Amino acid sequence: METIETIPSIPLREDQTQRCKEWIDSLRSGEHKQSFNSLIGKDESSFCCLGVACKISSMEMHNQKFDYNNEKYDMLPPKVWFDNYYGFNFHSVVARSFTGFYTLANLNDNVKLNFNQIADVIESVFITRTPIKININ
């Protein structure tokens, strides 16, 4: 069994902190089915962790894609929007282990952490800024 440890971030703005808290609450709510390797599942009722972030924002969803400035996004959200809305680059490393470094997308798609665990990571890295350890298989 391997353990990952979160890497605390710099503080976010107050509005970005509030949005991250809403995202955390949404991930923990149990109302979203988890998908992997795309923002929205083929059934349009499941999402990866970044897809949940898009869904709870003001982004429009059409045909398995999110609309932003008349462009369609299905694999990753628009970087500039995400950076400004949530206060960090979704490509940022949020955790590490002896064998590698992890982004939120890696933790969702490759490590297959569940939404509660991903919410714990986001909270640790961006809200409390206190490292936590999570055992992974």
Could you tell me the two tokens for 118? Answer: 């991903």
CA 84, CA 6: separation in Å to the nearest integer? 22
CA 25, CA 37: separation in Å to the nearest integer? 22
State the total domains in the chain: 1
Domain boundaries, position 22 = 2-136
pLDDT (tens digit, 0 to 9) for every residue of the chain, 137 residues total? 899 999 999 999 999 999 999 999 999 999 999 999 888 888 778 999 999 998 898 777 665 667 666 666 667 788 888 899 999 999 999 999 999 999 999 999 999 999 999 999 999 999 999 999 999 87
Listed residue (82, 79, 10, 32) closest to 24, CA to CA: 32
